[in-house]
Chains A and B, each alone.
Chain A
Amino acid sequence: MKRKSTILINAKKSVALLAILFVGFAFANNKEDAKEGDLKTEIKEYIAHHLLDSYDFSLFSYTNAQGEHVYIGAPLPIILWDNGLKLFSSSKFHHGETVAAVDGNHYALYHNKIYKTDAAGTINYDESHHPTNVKPLDFSITKSVVSMMLVFAIMFFLFKSLAASYAKNGGIAAGAGRFFEPIVLYIRDDIALPNIGEKKHKKYMSFLLTIFFFIWFLNILGLTPLGVNVTGNIAVTFGLALLTFLITNLTGTKDYWLHIFDPLGSTMAWYAKVPLYIILIPIEVLGIFIKPFSLLIRLYANMQAGHIVLMSLIGLMFIFKSWLGSPLSFGLAFAISLIEVLVALLQAYIFTMLSALYFGFAAVEHEHH
């Protein structure tokens, strides 16, 4: 009886506390409603800007005493093909504020894309408000490309030193190897072997390990204050899924292809199979493309959504600007960040797992009697 009343008192206290929190929250928010609209737009633009790739590696920016916007970061090389190779530094754009003059041509940044313009940087539009200016072929080293190069370098030196340490310690993991060895073994024993099989798994292991660590490291890099969003870029996930697609189909065995083009095998006469195959074969052929497509969309959407949610929660701090709302937003952003660390690993795992599953389909070999 006493225990029941204690629970009731606790429940009442909790409800009261929640009510106080919400009332305080509402009071704190009433103050600056007028300015909120502009701030919301600014936050939205900031999030949109963060999600896009960039032509310079900006770390942060601030407004100095003179009211000037100061950017801290490094410019990157712009490589364009516009009647010949055009190579210049992204600093010429001054973060999109000026027009870059190169070999008598003028280029301007508009919505993070480079357009050829006149000296004044005029952008012309069609009826749908789309720019009609010429867009030169762009091979620039963007922030995402630099991030990928960084991850490539990290992976190369990390695994090279791991291999060296194995050789030095008689095949026993040392240092960082103690952390990475179980992951490598997990990919082999719990992803590659069950899905591909003992006979052929070695052929695919190098790709599976590379893709796992590449996605994982890039995802983790996306959670750092460097502000990169590589795996949230659909072109990157498309490239990764394309590799899985090509490896699956170029290593496909006769049985894999027979499963697609003759799924019913010798279970019935050919004339009975014809009406079924009119439906079945197109579905199976579509499946070849849908599988890697789902890979690319899953990774892209999850990482993009994670960044949007996290940035929105951080943005809420500036909207609430109160003793209650801002710490709540911070707490929530912190909790979501922790979940995102898990998502970063989970997405790398899912991509690797599904790639292994598709390789398993491609590597299948049945006994023919």
Chain B
Amino acid sequence: MRAALISFSLLFLGICSLHGLSLFLLEISFKEAYFVEVYGAIFGFTFLFLWALLRAFNGLSHYVAWLYLSASGLKFGLFFLFLWPVFRADGAVSILEKTTFLIPYCSSLVLETRILISKLNKI
């Protein structure tokens, strides 16, 4: 469990660094892109869900994919609850804001799925 969480954190940090570097090179401020808020929120949610998911493997291994789907849906719902109003505050969602959400969200989804597949194969 610990290894999976550490590898997720490191890979997510790598993606975050690459994305941050791109913004820096393009001379776009982090504040303008809500970079810290979005990455912080997505990392927080995903880490929490992964931790719960990995714990579920001990007793509820047959429900784990179901839990994964529910958690993914909930994570997407939380985006609309918390981040969408921030993006919509100025009346429109720019491409910059969309990419700031989609890159960490899709990356975390891929990493989560990778962990799920490897765990399912070990049951």
Contacts and interface: CB of A to CB of B under 8 A. Distances in A.
Interface of A: 249-250, 252-254, 257-258, 260-262, 270, 274, 277, 281, 285, 288
Nearest to A274: B110
Contacts of B123: 254
Contacts of A250: 63, 66
A131 to B, nearest CB: 27
The list of the 4 closest CB pairs from A to B, nearest first, reads A257-B65, A262-B117, A254-B123, A258-B120
Contacts of B121: 258, 262
A188 to B, nearest CB: 25
Contact of B62 (A252, A260, A261, A270): A252
Interface of B: 61-66, 69, 110, 113-114, 116-117, 120-121, 123
A254 B69 contact: no
A261 B66 contact: no
A254 B61 contact: yes
Contacts of B110: 274
5 contacts: A249-B69, A250-B63, A252-B65, A260-B65, A262-B120
A262 B113 CA distance: 9
Contacts of B120: 254, 257-258, 261-262
Contacts of A261: 65, 113, 116-117, 120
Contacts of B62: 252-254
Nearest to B116: A261
A269 to B, nearest CB: 13
A250 B69 CA distance: 12
Contacts of A277: 113
Nearest to A256: B65
**DSSP class of A's interface residues: helix, strand, loop or mixed?**
helix
B66 A252 contact: yes
Contacts of A260: 65
Contacts of A285: 69
A156 to B, nearest CB: 31
A285 B65 CA distance: 11
Contacts of B69: 249, 285, 288
A277 B109 CA distance: 12
Given A252-B66, A257-B65, A281-B113, 7 more contacts: A257-B66, A258-B117, A258-B120, A261-B117, A270-B114, A277-B113, A285-B69
B50 to A, nearest CB: 15
A368 to B, nearest CB: 9
Nearest to A265: B121
A220 B114 CA distance: 49
A154 B81 CA distance: 46
A270 B63 CA distance: 24
A249 B68 CA distance: 12
Contacts of B61: 254
A188 B67 CA distance: 31
A230 B37 CA distance: 49
A258 B65 CA distance: 9
A251 to B, nearest CB: 8
B59 to A, nearest CB: 15
Contacts of B113: 261, 277, 281
Contacts of A252: 62, 65-66
Contacts of B66: 249-250, 252, 257
A249 B65 CA distance: 9
A120 B114 CA distance: 63
A132 B10 CA distance: 52
A243 B116 CA distance: 26
Contacts of A274: 110
Nearest to A261: B117
Most chain A CB within a 10 A radius of its CB, from B61, B116, B117: B117
Nearest to B65: A257
A361 to B, nearest CB: 13
A262 B117 CA distance: 6
Nearest to A246: B66
Contacts of A253: 62
Nearest to B106: A278
A249 B66 CA distance: 7
Contacts of A257: 64-66, 120
A95 B6 CA distance: 66
